[in-house]
Amino acid sequence: MARHAKPVPPPRDGSVNVAEAIDFNLQWNKDQPYYVFHDSTQLVELSHLEFGRACHRAAHIIRPGRGGDDGRVVAVIALVDTIVYQAVAIGLVKAGFVPFPISPRNAPPAIIKLLQDASCSTIVGTRTTLKGLFDELARISSMDLNILESPTLDALFPMLGTESETDPFEPYPPPPSRPNLDAVAMYLHSSGSTGFPKCIPQTHRILIQWTTMSLPQLIAHHERVRMGTMALPSFHTIGMYLQTFLPLYGIVSAAVYPPIVRSPDAHPMLPTPDNILEHLKKTECNCLASVPAWLHLWMQNQLDETVELLKSFIFVIYGGGPLSQKVGDQIVAAGVNLHGSYGGTEFGSPTLIRLQRWREQDWEWIRLADTTTVNWADQGDGTYECQFLTTDRHHPAIENMTNPRGYATSDLFIKHPTEPNLWKVVGRMDDVIMHSTGEKTVPGPMEGIVINNPLIHAAVMFGRSHDQAGILIEPAPGRNVDPANLEEVSQFRNEIWPTIEEANEVAPAFSKIYKEMVLITKREKPLPRSPKGSVMRKAALQLYEVEIEDLYTSVEVTSGRNVVEPPRTWDFDGILYWLTTQANDILSRQDISSSRDLFDQGFDSLSSTFLRLRIVGAFHSSPTLRDHTRKIGQNTIYTHPILQDLARFIVLVIDGDESGTTANRGKEALVAMIQKHTDGLDAPIPINTTHDQSAFQREGSVVLITGTTGSVGSQVLADLLRDDSVSRVYALNRPGKGSEPILRRHESKFEDMGLEVGLLRTDKLKLLQCDVSEDRLGLSSELHQEVQAAVNLIIHVAWRVDFNLGLTSFESNIKGTRNLVDLARSSHHGANTRFIFISSVAIAQGWDKAKGSYPEEIVSDESFALGTGYGESKYVAEKMLERSGLQATSIRLGQVSGGLPNGAWACTEWLPILVKSSVELGALPQAHGSVSWLTMDAASRAILDIALTPERPPLALNAVHPRPVLWQDIMQAIAKEIPPRDGVDGIPFVPFSQWVERLEERAKYGDEADLQLVPGIKLLDFYRNMARADAEILRNGRDEAEVGGMCQFETKKAQDVSVTMRLVKPVGALDARSWVRYWQSVGFLQTPPDNDQVVTSAPPKNHRTTLRSLIVYLVRLIFPFLFK
């Protein structure tokens, strides 16, 4: 690389605009290389003098003598060499026109739309090589298009590579006045990945601000930076930036292909994997900018020479699309300093480039330039939308935010786990697939893995408004697969399946792709692509819309019969072997146990659906079994989650024995579970005379509590930490799904509920991550001994909440309870250890209402607990505690609402979802009956009243509100707090059945937007059951009955033990206000336009309690009777 005098870059403070930068460099940097290329014989350096003069010549040719008006928009649609293309573009700026580089690969209608949006009717083009395109534009355009032939190579560079200052040259006339910095200097267009490309104006100020982002780093290393840009399209933003503004303002040379277009019918050099590498070497590049596709191809070949070349570069940056994790890791492992780039036509290229080698393993993570101000908008699922705010140092070309001003990119990022300034893009908000379950799949990371397979040309995930994801696969060129030929599809699917399994490993359970959901494209319908070569997702999904919907239909109808072979034999052994094989295949595993609960081994609702469909499909394959498919119901896997039991059930179905589904078997299973987990509890435990009841009171409480990252557990923990009679608290919680520290998980929950976060810093709290279902509770031997010696009160809150699952799926919860019981029985306090179990009113799901209210005792008849596995499992734990010999109390907790201080009521629960859905449906449901809800703070105080009472509490207590209120009263209070919608005050009520009909209608035609606005679609069955219960209450004329059909509960004993239960006020208008204000504060409900007034129970968005709400909280806490 030749050495040159020290360059003098143009100022980037706005004093030198784009046109002026050309002349600045003609004066100060005329000998510095602008472009370098290698012709057939030698390396050629094209100086700033030669390129600058070429821009002047282009201006002369296109606008001779500066005739006419300034500001005309002129499109550039031409197949010319890079040096000509960029000289024409900047020459147009020099001429006082506004260039608009447009990709000739755009469809003619898209080009017409761009021209119309920019009010452009003049095109500089190559009429011979693009004749077909221009003819079509003329045919479909309503404008009178004026097509000018592009200046030729010889006209712009008459002495290519050898021009000197003494050679003839006529400068272009200067403008009569300097253009305003905020005047449009150039139009660029987006890639069109999500539809038609968009016309985006770029002002002089914006283009200059682009150069302040990453250029300063490069300028600091000007003597050793030569950027390989030959493979970049000149019309694209990244090409314009690196081929024009990098040399223009950074005085950094850009390597390009040699110019070869010397006749009207000639084409510029087309990039190939080999000629890119060839010209990188010949031009002596030491930096490379590439699109991911080239890196994929180079790493597939794995040539030592290629790897060594990439290793020799100061850095390799990629942009324009995602690079697969596998390929990126390969490149970095080979010693290449790989770096991702992030940018957009709307906001520039704000990525800082790491010139020094450090943290190469973070190649996917980017750091944004300090000149940008970013708002990271939390999406609530671990991802953040990048929003660039408008400032003096960075003005986005497009603003789609008004308060504050800025540009919301719709690009989703995640935080680096340890480096606060590093971020990784994982997809786009408009790419995110919203499933009918409400869960969201981010397709980018999975698609990036799948397309790494050489057999796959492209991959697009789908699944909007369906409960499972699928993937559209375009086979690689030369790999022909007929989607109508099931044998070919099966063979191809098996060949690519290891790659899809690899993608499934990085996906959450609800995003996993099953074999049934792989859709192969048709050769006559290739996936549409943007000019930069990326698949246009929206257009692709529209192109295959019919096939995708047919696939979902066929999966249910054909039930997997084309995916798997049926069992070889239909006896128990044959069925069990087949079921085990299918379960392993569905979870991509080989270790599924046939004697363990599937849901403890990774199954979820989606995988259970596919196993059921495969069973039905296997039945369909046999003419003699086809009529039995109706017996394989939606809940079959839930009610038989152990494969051995499932195999026995299928044998019974085949034999026509329906007894396998009767309530008797359910009761037998419940009794067996009780016997299994109470075995050994009849043995007496010693009452330690050293730690009698009076000692328990004197020494204070040392508490072990579980489930403190949940709502109830968090509130109880906060109240324990405030209580001076509690000397120490061990808070046990299972490890979280992510890497978030246990303290931060608690802080987040406390902040959300408006609790005092500082309480978590007290020395008397010990936060422990463990699994209580494991031996020693999952604690180390030393820690287990410490807890065993110290604890005299256990409050067990943690429990799985899923009303679909059967009893066996809760066995780990039941086992954990037994482990805690064993800890208490073996502790130093022995039988004096108090054990408070937070049970549920669900244990009464089978109660005979003719017997009256459910009693505060352990009901001996197991039949009354039959129903969901959740309620049955709580009943098992109650029976365990009954036999434990401890001071044990089961507290049956009913519905808990938001409470003090800020009304926090989780937006994922049924009542908040009902309210939000009602706003969109235009009506609230009217229901008959009452609600016995306790607020969160009241429930917590009642629990601690019972836990800390000096006397031994009863074995079972019911914690529901002793003074229920009418559903209609509380819903009227909520309705008053909902702000006007579309200028209409208030929200009407309709009968519950009609409300459900409205919900069903939205569910029928809803899309992902509806799932956001009407989340009740996800709980449709639950609300249908509520409507049926409402109809029954109306028939019986019992307004005192509980809404939803739950029986009533006695509370006399609970009131005797707990002062809170005796004095607690009914939920009312103040509570309803606090709930609504909380939902508004977290963005769940719309905030009223005028939000100036202070509401006593509503915190601001940061959840810090206002002075007034704090006073109200204290008054209500000390004098609850005032609010009765």
pLDDT tens digit string along 710-747? Answer: 999 999 999 999 999 999 999 999 987 666 789 989 99
In a domain, 909, yes or no: yes
pLDDT band at 694 (very low <50, low <70, confident <90, very high): very low
Average pLDDT over residues 117-133: 96
Average pLDDT over residues 281-298: 89
Beta bridge partners of 98: 73
- C-beta separation of 705 from 730 below 8 A: yes
Helix residue spans in 318-374 (DSSP H): 325-333
Least confident of 444-453, 740-749, 1111-1120: 1111-1120
In a domain, 720, yes or no: no
Least confident of 283-287, 663-667, 765-769, 969-973: 663-667
pLDDT tens digit string along 545-590? Answer: 889 988 887 775 554 455 568 898 888 889 999 999 999 988 877 8
pLDDT score recorded for residue 699:
60
- C-beta separation of 631 from 797 below 8 A: no
pLDDT band at 836 (very low <50, low <70, confident <90, very high): very high
Q: Which residue has the higher pLDDT, 282 or 651?
A: 282
59 and 195 belong to one structural domain: yes
Question: What are the strands of the beta sheet with 456-462, ordered from one edge?
Answer: 456-462, 470-475, 518-520
In a domain, 721, yes or no: no
91 and 219 belong to one structural domain: yes
pLDDT band at 658 (very low <50, low <70, confident <90, very high): low
Least confident of 15-29, 115-129, 599-613, 1005-1019: 1005-1019
- C-beta separation of 366 from 342 below 8 A: yes
- The domain boundary residue, chosen from 268, 285, 302: 285
The single residue listed with the structure tokens 């590498």 is 277
pLDDT score recorded for residue 1102:
35
pLDDT score recorded for residue 221:
58
Cβ neighbourhood burial of 305 (10 Å; 0-12, 13-18, 19+): exposed
24 and 99 belong to one structural domain: yes
615 and 549 belong to one structural domain: no
In a domain, 861, yes or no: no
Tell me the range of 253-257, 425-429, 604-608 where mean pLDDT is highest: 253-257
| Nearby residues of 192 by Cβ (< 8 Å), 6 or more positions away | 106, 110, 198, 530, 531, 536
Nearest 5 degrees, angle CA 863-CA 889-CA 1054?
90
- C-beta separation of 353 from 347 below 8 A: no
- Tell me the average pLDDT of the chain: 87
Q: Which residue has the higher pLDDT, 703 or 1037?
A: 703
101 and 220 belong to one structural domain: yes
595 and 524 belong to one structural domain: no
- Cα separation, 322 vs 86, in Å, equals 27
Nearest 5 degrees, angle CA 248-CA 252-CA 255?
100
pLDDT tens digit string along 14-65? Answer: 999 999 999 999 999 999 999 999 998 999 999 999 999 999 999 999 999 9
In a domain, 765, yes or no: no
510 and 605 belong to one structural domain: no
Average pLDDT over residues 249-266: 95
- Cα separation, 881 vs 533, in Å, equals 65
Residue of 955, 805, 815, 804 lying closest to 892 (CA atoms):
955
Please list, residue by residue across 342-373, b when 16 or more beta carbons sit within 10 angstroms of its beta carbon and e when fewer do. Answer: bbbbbbbbbbbbbbeeeeeebbbbbbbbebbb
Structure tokens at 231: 């493979």
Q: Which residue has the higher pLDDT, 243 or 545?
A: 243
Average pLDDT over residues 988-1014: 81
Average pLDDT over residues 93-104: 97
In a domain, 474, yes or no: yes
- C-beta separation of 1018 from 1025 below 8 A: no
- Cα separation, 748 vs 760, in Å, equals 11
pLDDT score recorded for residue 1092:
37
pLDDT score recorded for residue 1034:
85
pLDDT tens digit string along 307-343? Answer: 999 999 999 999 877 777 778 888 999 999 999 899 9
Q: What is the longest distance spanned by two Cα atoms in the chain?
A: 111
Structure tokens at 837: 């179990």
Structure tokens at 221: 């290393």
pLDDT tens digit string along 6-26? Answer: 889 999 999 999 999 999 999
Average pLDDT over residues 616-639: 80
Please list, residue by residue across 710-745, b when 16 or more beta carbons sit within 10 angstroms of its beta carbon and e when fewer do. Answer: bbbbbbbbbbbbeeeebebbbbbbbeeeeeeebeeb
552 and 487 belong to one structural domain: yes
- Cα separation, 330 vs 363, in Å, equals 11
576-581: which pairs have CB atoms within 8 A and are 24 or more residues apart? Answer: 576/643, 576/644, 576/647, 578/618, 579/611, 579/615, 579/643, 579/646, 579/647, 579/650, 580/643
Residue 613 has pLDDT above 90, yes or no: no
- Cα separation, 599 vs 608, in Å, equals 9
Expressed as residue numbers, the domain containing 1020 is 900-931+965-1048+1066-1124
pLDDT score recorded for residue 1:
59
Structure tokens at 1055: 């009131």
Percentage helix, strand, coil for the chain under 3-state DSSP, each rounded to 5:
45, 15, 40
599 and 532 belong to one structural domain: no
- Cα separation, 82 vs 141, in Å, equals 28
Average pLDDT over residues 851-870: 91
In a domain, 719, yes or no: no
pLDDT tens digit string along 184-204? Answer: 999 999 876 545 689 999 999
pLDDT score recorded for residue 225:
84
pLDDT band at 1097 (very low <50, low <70, confident <90, very high): very low
- Cα separation, 953 vs 940, in Å, equals 16
Average pLDDT over residues 915-935: 94
Average pLDDT over residues 79-103: 98
pLDDT score recorded for residue 1021:
80
User: Kind and range of the H or E element at 958?
Assistant: strand 956-959
Beta bridge partners of 893: 840, 959
- C-beta separation of 548 from 463 below 8 A: no
In a domain, 76, yes or no: yes
499 and 623 belong to one structural domain: no
Percentage with pLDDT > 90 across the chain: 59
Residue 1122 has pLDDT above 70, yes or no: no
| Nearby residues of 819 by Cβ (< 8 Å), 6 or more positions away | 772, 773, 774, 775, 777
Q: What pTM was computed for the model?
A: 0.54
Average pLDDT over residues 1048-1075: 95
173-181: which pairs have CB atoms within 8 A and are 24 or more residues apart? Answer: 173/65, 173/66, 175/19, 175/66, 175/70, 175/96, 178/17, 179/17, 179/19, 179/70, 179/96, 179/204, 180/204, 181/14, 181/17, 181/205, 181/208
pLDDT score recorded for residue 219:
66
543 and 576 belong to one structural domain: no
**Which CATH number covers residue 617?**
1.10.1200
Residue of 491, 513, 616, 507 lying closest to 560 (CA atoms):
616
pLDDT tens digit string along 388-405? Answer: 999 999 999 999 998 899
In three-state form (DSSP H/G/I as H, E/B as E, the rest C), the secondary structure along 136-169 is HHHHHCCCCCEEEECCCHHHHCCCCCCCCCCCCC
- C-beta separation of 868 from 845 below 8 A: yes
pLDDT tens digit string along 982-998? Answer: 656 678 999 999 999 99
Residue of 989, 1014, 990 lying closest to 1002 (CA atoms):
1014
pLDDT band at 1006 (very low <50, low <70, confident <90, very high): low
- Cα separation, 23 vs 56, in Å, equals 9
602 and 459 belong to one structural domain: no
- C-beta separation of 32 from 47 below 8 A: yes
- The domain boundary residue, chosen from 285, 306, 330: 285
Q: Which residue has the higher pLDDT, 721 or 638?
A: 721
Q: Residue 790, Cα to own-chain centre: how many angstroms? A: 43
Residue 1068 has pLDDT above 90, yes or no: yes
Residue of 431, 41, 450, 12 lying closest to 219 (CA atoms):
12
Least confident of 423-437, 513-527, 1026-1040: 423-437
pLDDT score recorded for residue 214:
80
- The domain boundary residue, chosen from 264, 285, 306: 285
- C-beta separation of 344 from 192 below 8 A: no
Q: Residue 702, Cα to own-chain centre: how many angstroms? A: 40
**Which CATH number covers residue 475?**
3.30.300.30
Number of domains into which the chain is organized: 4
**Which CATH number covers residue 231?**
3.40.50.12780
Count other C-beta atoms under 10 Å from residue 624's C-beta: 9
Average pLDDT over residues 929-943: 96
